[in-house]
Homo-oligomer: A and B are copies of this chain.
């Protein structure tokens, strides 16, 4: 397999949430070709077991590998927390970046009082992967996590600023806010859609970390270090693959990517 600067960047997620990462990569690196796979036939991952999540991650990576990517970005926090090693195995030497490590690093850089809050899926918070990643950089930081399972369906149904969504988010965040955190990581790729509402509830003194932007920055840096940045100046549309409901995905794309909606291809897992 020959990897070159013109090879694509492969990105995958359990479903549609990872498009927040596609958007961030596109904004930062508009000349890069992106292959995106969303496993819409088996979404969500965050409420499932580690064994199942690892099996799904293996399949997802296999699909991207057919396109000979120069890098794989795991846009799913749950997979980043529980199955990054499987992605690396199947990726056979292709650099792999997970949203989790990127978000953790950025959170450490921003926190002043060393109290960081994490919101994510059940599987991500139970894994303690954010605590491990943050404390590996700075063991003195206190990390507080809360699972917010209902925020994914709210985001997927477009209840972006509904009073019921706000009420539930307030309950989820109450304990973290009581811990005097100064930094809050959106530890699920769906949450950036609810960023404004979450920011409102958290208040102006808490810095919100969006892992999508963090991982895009890290991708640019890694590609530059390896001499693999695409220097073509023609912006290209991402190539989108899903395992179910391409039409619905296309409609939802508007919410994530804005107006530029490419075709969506159906693949089997």
B-contacting residues of A (Cβ < 8 Å)? 40-42, 47-49, 51-52, 149-150, 152-154, 156-157, 159, 162-165, 167-168, 243-245
Number of identical monomers bound together in the oligomeric complex: 2
Contacts A48-B41, A49-B244, A52-B244; is A157 near B150 (CB within 8 Å)?
Answer: yes
Other than the known A52-B244, A149-B153, A150-B159, what 11 A-B pairs have Cβ atoms closer than 8 Å? A40-B48, A41-B42, A41-B48, A42-B42, A47-B156, A49-B245, A52-B243, A164-B164, A164-B165, A164-B167, A167-B167
A47 to B153, CA, bound (A): 11
Chain A contact surface mostly:
loop
Contact (Cβ within 8 A) B149 A245: no
Measured between beta carbons, the chain B residues less than 8 angstroms from A149 are 153, 157
Contact (Cβ within 8 A) A245 B150: no
A243 to B165, CA, bound (A): 30
Contact (Cβ within 8 A) A244 B164: no
CB distance from A240 to the nearest CB of B (A): 16
A224 to B233, CA, bound (A): 74
CB distance from A217 to the nearest CB of B (A): 33
Q: Which residue of B lies closest to A151 (CB)?
A: B153
Measured between beta carbons, the chain B residues less than 8 angstroms from A157 are 149-150
Measured between beta carbons, the chain B residues less than 8 angstroms from A245 are 48-49, 52
Measured between beta carbons, the chain B residues less than 8 angstroms from A163 are 167
A156 to B42, CA, bound (A): 17
A156 to B245, CA, bound (A): 23
A181 to B157, CA, bound (A): 26
Question: What are the 5 tightest A-B residue pairs by CB atom distance, in nearest-first order?
Answer: A164-B164, A153-B153, A164-B167, A52-B244, A49-B245
A152 to B156, CA, bound (A): 13
A164 to B163, CA, bound (A): 8
A150 to B150, CA, bound (A): 9
CB distance from A59 to the nearest CB of B (A): 12
